[in-house]
Structure 1
Amino acid sequence: MIYKAEKFGEKYTTRWDNIDVDEILSSERLLGNYKKCLMDQGPCTPDGKELKKNLPDALKNDCSKCSEKQKINMHKVIDFFKDNKTEWWAELQKKYDPEGIYLKNHIANNRHGDKNDDKRDDDKKKEERDEMEKNDNKENSR
């Protein structure tokens, strides 16, 4: 997650760099609480407040004030939401990245994101081929 910048404003604090992001992503309760905080639909924990406060700046500046660990976690969270929580992702993107600028930067700067996009494209093409083949088989059996 991304948190408040150090006193001189050069980097966000690394105080929470050791948060287990995988634990948060695997917990509907924790994840839901963060989402509610970010969307102004519920209360925020202290770390949720910091995340909410710094998220717009981090997105706008491609996480330039983030530590390496924060950048890794940011990419992990974005990929998780894109792949597993598409409705929540759409809500968050509408509020924090309505023009899709950060998402474009994320994909351009993150090989993992490109691989996921390529895999989704390949999966979709395979599904289309399978569907066409199924339809051809139906027509040939008549």
Structure 2
Amino acid sequence: MQRLAAAALIAAVAFAGTASAGTVNLTLDGVQPRGGRILVTVQSRDQFMKPAQTSGAVLDGSSSGQLKVALPNVPAGDYAISVLHDADQSWGMTMGADGKPAEGWTMNKAGDLRAKPTFDQVKVSLDGDASLTQTMMYPK
């Protein structure tokens, strides 16, 4: 009986070890040279839309076209990967008088969103290294 319990414990530890941290290689398409900075965040459900993150980066906002960023050591799990082109350098999303974003942004399924996103709408499941591409959305 003890051998069976020990074997089950070893199997559980081995199975838990299969989930691993990895690097998220993010490609941003359609970046416009609007100055400021581009803020990239990887957030868990508990961190979503709050000033907390699992991983992140700050990029030069004067670039245009395509940008690539590597976000290392992201543990396996579900995450929202959000990008804000913080042109006014306020460290937050500036909203227009119409209630819509006044700065560039993107996240998973950005083109399908019509209101403030929920975590479940934009989450991606990660387990090890991943390559993702997101297209920036800018106000007209």
Q: TM-score range by the shorter chain?
A: under 0.3
The structure carrying a bigger strand percent of its residues is: 2
TM-score normalised by structure 1 residue count: 0.23
TM-score (ref. length: structure 2): 0.24
- RCO higher in 1 or 2 (8 Å CA, sep ≥ 6)? 2
- Higher normalized helix content (fraction of residues): 1
